[in-house]
Structure formats: structure tokens, C-alpha cells
């Protein structure tokens, strides 16, 4: 078991090193170790969106006093989609609804620093899904008034 774990760790290290030769450290890190990845029970806001590439992203929000208190995401996409979802959730956490309006494709790409041109649509998918989840949350809040 320990031998198998050592082999896996070495293989992951090689994959990380190879990827780091081509992509920014942030793209590689968030693609391999996505933050806020997973599902959320009883979210205040939720959205699922499928992009033109066929990848689907889901975003779950929990809001307290108008601030994104918790946010998670899931995707069936590639490492670049994972990286975009991870960065989107990090940028949103702790922000007000008004501040979240600035979270768009450009903000995600800027944070990732060097997303390959053929994968910039992953940042668009994350931004669109996030804004759809915000609208869902806002609509639920209005219904509860």
C-alpha cells in the first residue's frame, strides 16, 4: 500500500512538472487541486450550465447578510474547467452581491494568469454559471419576502 502511494505521488509530481512547463502555476495548481470542489446541501442559490464544448458546471451558494458565505462547484469538465471553477469560487467567497458583479470571464482569466487560448471558454462557463446561481439566489430571496 505504501509502495503504491509512493508511485502515485511520484507520477503526480511528474505530471505537475510537465504541466508547469506549459501553463501558469495557478492554472496547474487549481486544475490539480481545485478549491471549493463538491456539492452543498440546501444551497441558497444554485445553477447548472452546459457550455458549447459540452462541459457542465454546477455552482452552489450560501449567503449570509448579503455576503457569499460559502460556495462550491462541480464539473464534468477538464482540468482547465476545474481551474476556472476553483478560481471563480475563491474570487466570490466573502464578497457582496454588488462586488460579485465584477466576477466575469476576464477576472477569472486574469487570476489564472495564462489560460491557453483554446480553453478560455472554461472561464466563461464558470462566470456564466456563477451569475446564474446569483440570480437564482436573488430570486429565492425575493420570493421569501
| Residue 122 annotated in active site | yes
Buried-exposed string 94-126: b where 16+ CB fall within 10 A, e elsewhere:
ebeeeebeebbbebbbebbeebeeebbbbbbbb
**Annotated catalytic residue: which of 53, 78, 100, 137?**
53
State whether the Cα torsion 108-125-99-59 is positive or negative.
negative
| Residue 100 annotated in active site | no
CA–CA separation, 94 and 82 (whole Å): 20
**Annotated catalytic residue: which of 78, 100, 122, 137?**
122
Contacts of 114 (CB under 8 A, 6+ apart): 23, 24, 26, 27
Cell digits of residue 90: 475563491
Instruction: List residues with catalytic annotation.
Output: 53, 122
Amino acid at each position: 500500500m505504501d509502495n503504491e502511494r509512493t508511485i502515485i505521488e511520484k507520477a503526480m509530481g511528474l505530471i505537475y512538472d510537465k504541466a508547469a512547463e506549459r501553463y501558469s502555476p495557478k492554472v496547474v495548481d487549481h486544475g490539480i487541486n481545485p478549491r471549493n470542489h463538491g456539492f452543498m446541501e440546501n444551497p441558497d442559490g444554485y445553477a447548472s450550465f452546459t457550455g458549447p464544448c459540452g462541459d457542465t458546471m454546477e455552482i452552489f451558494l450560501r449567503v449570509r447578510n448579503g455576503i457569499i458565505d460559502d460556495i462550491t462547484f462541480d464539473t464534468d469538465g477538464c482540468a482547465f474547467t476545474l481551474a476556472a471553477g476553483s478560481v471563480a469560487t475563491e474570487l466570490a467567497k466573502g464578497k457582496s452581491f454588488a462586488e460579485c458583479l465584477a466576477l466575469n470571464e476576464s477576472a477569472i482569466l486574469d487570476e489564472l494568469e495564462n489560460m491557453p487560448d483554446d480553453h478560455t471558454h472554461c472561464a466563461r462557463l464558470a462566470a456564466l454559471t456563477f451569475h446564474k446561481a446569483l440570480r437564482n439566489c436573488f430570486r429565492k430571496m425575493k420570493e421569501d419576502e
